[in-house]
Chain A
Amino acid sequence: MATTHSAASVKSVYSTGTDGSIVQSEDGSAGALDLGADIDAATFEQILEMDDDEEEREFSRSIVYDFFTQAEGTFQKMDSNLEKRDLEQLSALGHFLKGSSATLGLTKVKDSCEKIQHYGAHKDATGIEDELDDDICLKNCKETIEQAKKEFAEVEIALKRFYRDEGS
């Protein structure tokens, strides 16, 4: 059993990116992929490459749907913390969602989440200048959360279409 495992691992190491004949080439999938400007294709392709089965795309699908769940939950938490005026929590939530959206290459969502992180930490959008006024910070957070929701909704549609299309 150990041998089998080892063989598989060796195969994956030395076939990825070096020998195009064994796994699907990056070029091939890049051409087939069109998710719009909101999603960084190169990053998302890395996720897709990890699918063992290109038909089912079980892995990436699960990741993406996990992300949907995660994002919806996070937005809910953001809304409640907006009411509680808990800027610190808002910042942490922004950071949290930033990480996963970055992993999936959802650039716009990621950028907005970063802003939320900064506003919540009493900073300006870039995270450089201090903004000590809570009201302004909360207002900034609120606006950006709305923005992020909108952006998320867009990528959600695109991604759902991608997987529905793949599935059918």
Chain B
Amino acid sequence: MSYRNMDDLHIVELLDADPRLIYVVDRLVREQTGGPAVTYHNRALKNNKKLTSELYAAFQHESPVRTWIQELPKVSLPNDETFYFGGLHWAAVVVRSRWVYVYGSPSEERSVSNSHKETTVLPDGTVPDVPIFGHTRANGSDKMNYDGHVDLMTSLYESPDYGDVAGGGITDNAALTDALARSTLEMTQSTQRFQRYQRILEMVDVGIFEFHPNGQLLSANDAWYAQSSHPPAERTENEYSFMDYVHEEDKDMAFSQWVQLSKGEAVTFEMRWKKKNSEWFSVGSDERTETWVLAACVPVVDDNGALVSVSGCTTNITAQKENAIEAMQRAEAVERARASEQKLSRFAEMAPVALFILDVDQKVQFCNDKWFTMLGMARTDPKDTDWRGAIWHEDMPIIQQVWDRLIIHQESVDFQFRLTRTWRHPSDGMESQAWVLASVYPTLDDHGLVCAVQGTQIDISELKWAEKVQRLRVEEALEAKRQQENFIDMTSHEMRNPLSVVVQCADSVVTMLTQTTAILDRTQDRLEPSFHDELLECLDNALDAVQTIISCSAHQKRIVDDILVLSKLDAKLLMITPVRVRALSVLEDAKRMFMSEAERVGIHLALEADTSLNSLGVEWVMLDPSRVLQVLINLVANAIKFTQFSSTKDIVLTMSASRTRPSDSDQAFQFIPSRLMLDSDDSISPEYGNGEPIYLSFAVRDTGCGMTCEGKEKIFQRFSQASPRTHVQYGGSGLGLFISRELVELQGGEIGFASEADTGSTFAFFIKCRMCAAPATNHVESAFAVDGTTNDANKDEKPEQVTVLIVEDNLVNQKVLSKQLRRLGWEVHVAGHGGEALDFIKTTRYWNGSESLGRELTVILMDIEMPVMDGLTCARKIRDLEKRGDLRAHIPIVAVSANARSEQMKESQLAGMDEAIAKPFRIPDLIPKVERLSGLKRANGVNIRT
């Protein structure tokens, strides 16, 4: 074992190095001697063999020196009583009650050096105690500080004669005496220092203790007793008695520390003593459950490494502990608060929502970054922010209103506003004012007054954009639908008029053909028979063809009529106008209308008046006969269509009445539920008068082909037929039943049907009406008087006769164009050049003075390049005539140019022409231009037809 530091120096070495004669006595009684025994003697004593043997002999039995040792006090302080033995004066120090450290001074030595007598006479050796109490609390070291020893050692080593002393034998008595005197002085000082320390330690509440290795308390100071509540050592004989006073939770730890100590290791640890309730120490108001101490303990071992005792000091650290715990708790609380605030502030920064707090002066108290970016402002100190500039000026009033509500009414408000900043849609690049949705709410102070306004904002620009786009789309869709309907409506009107004419003309052709046939008959004898027959056949064929034209046109006209009714239904323009009518007349009218058609295809058409009419006394009713008839016409027409090819050809029209609303169960068929909720009697319009409400039911039963199940569901839909094949076989628009349904529902009723394939169908409907008294006169209002079709504003408007003047030099072109236009039904006049055109104009009604006798003229088609007078010149002249008043009104002129180049178009416009068309043109391109111009003429209010 190498001695790395002073701590490793063994006390035995020190004693051997001591020039004094020293021995140690173990006061524990030995069996063989019956008293204490010398357990050690140092080298200096060993040198005196005689004295050593005398000493050992003295301890073999009861002897004065042994008795002296035995009677030394238990707790030792340096004893000033010396004992004379073997020619030497011996002083003794008792250590830990058991060990007695005895050192001797030769008596002649005293006499030799008198000057040193005092110091040598009073050698208060304290060596063994120093290591125990020299332990310092301040640095917490668990190492021993051999303060006393160091001093002693230093003095010994510093002695130049030390080597000789250690070497063996006292060679220089003077030097030795000097060294001894010095070390004695050092020792005295150390002792004093130690006692001073001890007093200080007592004052600072440092407990000092010494335990026997068996766990018995050997000694302790008051501070220790105060801390531990342990009874005084004198009163406790129990081993490990201190364990009873250790806090329950620390017992295991404390014991393990003890084990460490008993292994010879120094330990420092913190532990708790139990709550103080000792009979020895009054704790007063101290209510603490425990006392915290810092214990620093060292084992004390003998020469052989055996544990002699355990010593140490304890410092009361309860206050620190409690402070520490309290401080820790406070720190934890602060940390928690900080963490939660940090969390919130992170939320505030990370949220895609702008957050802000304004004070009552509208100054920003707090806001997050998002708030700045949302408002499109650079990040600045919130207090200096003027956010009003970020708000779209038109929306500032909104802000003011909101503020008033917040401050005055103390309400929270959700509102939207625009910003000065614009927002650009990422894909379509459309730029618009950015939109913000804000929620604000007031914060009230203790007096219930608003002290701040908190708010959140989100950017809803995209939402607004989407909303706008959607609204636009809806508007567009509605507009498109409206236009489409308009288109259909218009087209229908346009088709209807010519169709009327077609039917009209075809009718007159039939008449003429019939007349021709009659003439042929009269002149039969004047013609060759073969020629006559040939003619007759031609006429027959012609008649057939015309009949086909009539039926085709009639069919087309019906479709057009249906569409028109439908568009009126859609536009809610169709009015129900109830008039007084004999109930059965409607049915009779329907029959009359179809009588001839039915006869032609061999169908037997019958009428049935149900007994309910009589029993309920239904004769005169208020209803709109034309609307009822319209439905009946549809149903009967359908019935005829689907029955004409059946083997049995019967159609029965029935009529019945009931006071209650007919339902499915009353009938053998199903009504399609009305989409209009007209159930209550109140819903019937006041125009019906105030007679008894009654439901009139009509049914059309046929023996036709019937319908399959799939077909049934669709037939009342718009443009829908039972099957795609239906149209091929029977024609029809698919609108009839849809219109019928609409009309029936408008009259507060429902329509329905029952059908069985190959057996026939029954279509039935009921309407709501009121009974009324018979008219005073005998006049019978016939439903037939009201035509099934609706009143049409354009009904009387015939297609306008177009008269056109072609000004064209080229004969070939003249002829072709004339032919084409005549084929349109237009009246065509031709002029070879501008001069001729002017001559012609003088013959028209435009010319002043020819109002009544002059010719019609709708439009002039003017070629540009012509000999004699070109088109441009002619046009200018015409406009001049108009200005001069020779012409009564503006004559529309269309420039016809081989060059469609824009400058030429412009030139013609400058010359006073209204339109231009490039040559060669197609007639369909010309028609709308002419129509527009003739329309303008009308719109200008120029009535040149007088």
Instruction: Point out residues on A near B: beta carbons under 8 Å.
Output: 3-14, 16, 43, 46-47, 50, 59, 62-63, 66-67, 70, 92, 95-96, 98-100, 102-104
Contacts and interface: CB of A to CB of B under 8 A. Distances in A.
A99 B919 CA distance: 8
A7 B502 contact: yes
A62 B812 CA distance: 9
A92 B810 contact: no
B819 A99 contact: no
B505 interface: yes
Contacts of A43: 920
A96 B505 contact: no
Contact of A59 (B809, B813, B819): B819
Interface stretch (B140-148, B417-425, B820-828): B820-828
Interface of A: prevailing SS: helix
B429 to A, nearest CB: 41
Contacts of B811: 66, 70, 100
Nearest to B817: A103
Contact of B819 (A3, A5, A50, A96): A50
Given A13-B825, A96-B809, A99-B898, A7 B816 contact: no
Contacts of B826: 9
B815 interface: yes
Interface of B: 498, 501-502, 504-506, 508-509, 799, 809-813, 815-816, 819-820, 823-826, 863, 865, 867, 898, 919-920
Contact of B825 (A6, A66, A104): A6
B508 A4 contact: yes
B810 A100 contact: yes
A16 B812 contact: no
Nearest to A101: B812
Given A63-B812, A92-B867, A96-B809, A9 B824 contact: yes
Contacts of B816: 47, 50, 63, 103-104
B823 A50 contact: yes
Nearest to B826: A9
A9 B501 CA distance: 10
Contacts of A3: 504-505, 508
B818 to A, nearest CB: 10
Contacts of B898: 95, 98-99, 102
B813 A103 contact: yes
A104 B812 CA distance: 8
B812 A70 contact: yes
Nearest to B867: A92
Contacts of B501: 6-7, 10
Given A7-B502, A10-B498, A100 B813 contact: yes
A96 B810 contact: yes
Contact of B812 (A6, A11, A67, A92): A67
Contact of A9 (B508, B825, B867): B825
20 contacts: A3-B508, A4-B508, A5-B825, A7-B504, A7-B506, A8-B825, A9-B823, A10-B799, A11-B502, A12-B823, A12-B825, A50-B816, A62-B815, A96-B809, A99-B809, A100-B811, A100-B813, A102-B920, A103-B813, A104-B816
Nearest to A8: B825
A100 B812 CA distance: 6
Contacts of B815: 59, 62-63, 66
B505 A10 contact: yes
Contacts of B809: 96, 99
A100 to B, nearest CB: 4
Contacts, number: 87
A8 B498 CA distance: 11
Contacts of A13: 498, 823-825
B869 to A, nearest CB: 14
A46 B810 CA distance: 18
Nearest to B497: A10
A98 B824 CA distance: 26
A63 B813 CA distance: 9
Q: Which of A9, A95, A104 has the most CB of B within 10 A?
A: A9
Contacts of B867: 92
A43 B816 CA distance: 11
A14 B813 contact: no
A63 to B, nearest CB: 5
Given A10-B498, A62-B815, A67-B812, 18 more contacts: A3-B504, A4-B508, A7-B502, A7-B506, A10-B505, A11-B502, A13-B824, A14-B502, A59-B819, A63-B816, A92-B867, A96-B810, A99-B863, A100-B812, A100-B813, A102-B898, A102-B919, A103-B810
Contacts of B820: 46, 50
A47 B923 CA distance: 12
B106 to A, nearest CB: 153
A64 to B, nearest CB: 9
Nearest to B798: A6
Contacts of A67: 812
A59 B505 CA distance: 26
Contacts of A46: 820
Nearest to B825: A9
A102 B900 CA distance: 14
A13 B822 CA distance: 10
B825 A10 contact: yes
A95 B864 CA distance: 11
Nearest to A14: B498
Nearest to A105: B920
Contact of A12 (B504, B509, B812, B824): B824
A87 to B, nearest CB: 16
B761 to A, nearest CB: 32
Contacts of B825: 5-6, 8-10, 12-13
A95 B865 contact: yes
A10 B502 contact: yes
A149 B509 CA distance: 50
B806 to A, nearest CB: 13
A98 B813 CA distance: 11
Nearest to A99: B810
Contacts of A14: 498, 502
Q: Which of A12, A99, A104 has the most CB of B within 10 A?
A: A99
A120 B813 CA distance: 23
